[in-house]
Amino acid sequence: MKEGLKLIASKEFTEIDEMYKIVNFLNKNLAEFNVVFGVQKKENVSVINIYKAN
């Protein structure tokens, strides 16, 4: 986790190949609300994380 970010939510989904496109879209359009989205791949699932920027 990056310094200055607080994890506020995390959700696992069946792996979605283009989840990074969704995360990029959210980050570009919601940056003014001080939230940052991230995605991780774990075995056969994708995990989307929502962070609050300080």
Predicted pLDDT of residue 3: 67
> Mean pLDDT over residues 12-39, rounded?
91
Q: How are the residues of the chain apportioned to helix, strand and coil, as percentages rounded to the nearest 5?
A: 30, 50, 20
Predicted pLDDT of residue 30: 95
**Per-residue pLDDT at 47 exceeds 70:** yes
Rounded Cα–Cα distance for residues 31 and 35 (Å) = 6
Predicted pLDDT of residue 45: 87
Structural domain boundaries enclosing 9: 5-53
- Looking at the chain, how many residues does it have? 54
> How many CB atoms neighbour CB 51 within 10 A?
19
